[in-house]
Structure 1
Amino acid sequence: MQRRAGTRSVLRHERVMRVMEEARGASLNAIEINKRLGQDGALLAMSALYRDLKRLVEAGRLNHEWTTRNGHVSSVYRIAAVSPPAAPVRLMCSACASAVDMPAAGLLSQLIAQACNAQGMPVSSDPIEIRMLCRRCGQLPQAASPGTDEATAVSPTRRLRTGCR
């Protein structure tokens, strides 16, 4: 009997995931999920649905979020985003092209990936380059171009080349 109960819950989980996939990234509350389940077949008892949602969140397949809807706080669910692998981050001198790879720059990679996704840009696995002057090049006197004096000479700007394409 335990095996059949496990099979039923797996089938319910797959039905819930199908509804969430059809929502195409939108967040749905449990009542909305159950209504959509009813369109394809039988409604679930709300207690069973909440149990299934809890298990899907624990398995990492759904995210459980809190939002405000119509002036009320609402519990909603959304398909868990698969985070792209962290791109390496490299500090590169814009004058001499010497480079240093930054270990543990996962947060920066994640922020850039989120920005790329928000703008509909594909995320690249190419290194994220942050261009600036290295210590040696930063200490060299800069030649001012004709018509400028040292007070108005502009140093090279820092430039960020992201992993977005």
Structure 2
Amino acid sequence: MPWEMRQIILGIHIFLAIIWVGGVLFIGWGVYPALRKMAYAKQREFFLALIQWSHNFLTAAGTGVIATGIVLGTLAGPINQWADLWTTRYGNLWLAALVIALLTLGWGVFIGYRQSVKVFSNISIWELADSGETKPLSKALGTTIAIESVEVGGFIALLVVMILL
């Protein structure tokens, strides 16, 4: 593959990674804390709409990161045969990055997102919080934060592997 084409694919890879990781982190560390200052009913309504809207977009970005990473390691990279995955340092790290990325995306899509929708769709705990009983909501949000933190851990692991490549 021509060097220029590889650089274009690398640029797309980095851009999509910024969207995927940045989007997840911005929602979790930027939007969520700001929403906590709103009334409970508004928090629930806004956050549910936000995660439902952003889910497909962020999933597509994550899928694009993985797809371009596969191209960068194989068609535009040094992995030419299956044995390269097991016998070269690059192949080992590339395979580790692929597995971590797939697990991170899968966790976000199938576990983190579903947990968030479950909590933000549970109107009763939000109504209880409005009436002063915040313990069930705090517990549910704490569980959601813990579950979503696994995705952040995956991003950190990916970054470490990318630095080692």
Q: Which has the larger radius of gyration?
A: 1
Q: TM-score, normalised by structure 1?
A: 0.27
Q: What TM-score does the superposition give when structure 2 sets the normalisation length?
A: 0.27
Higher RCO (CA-CA < 8 Å; seq separation 6+): 2
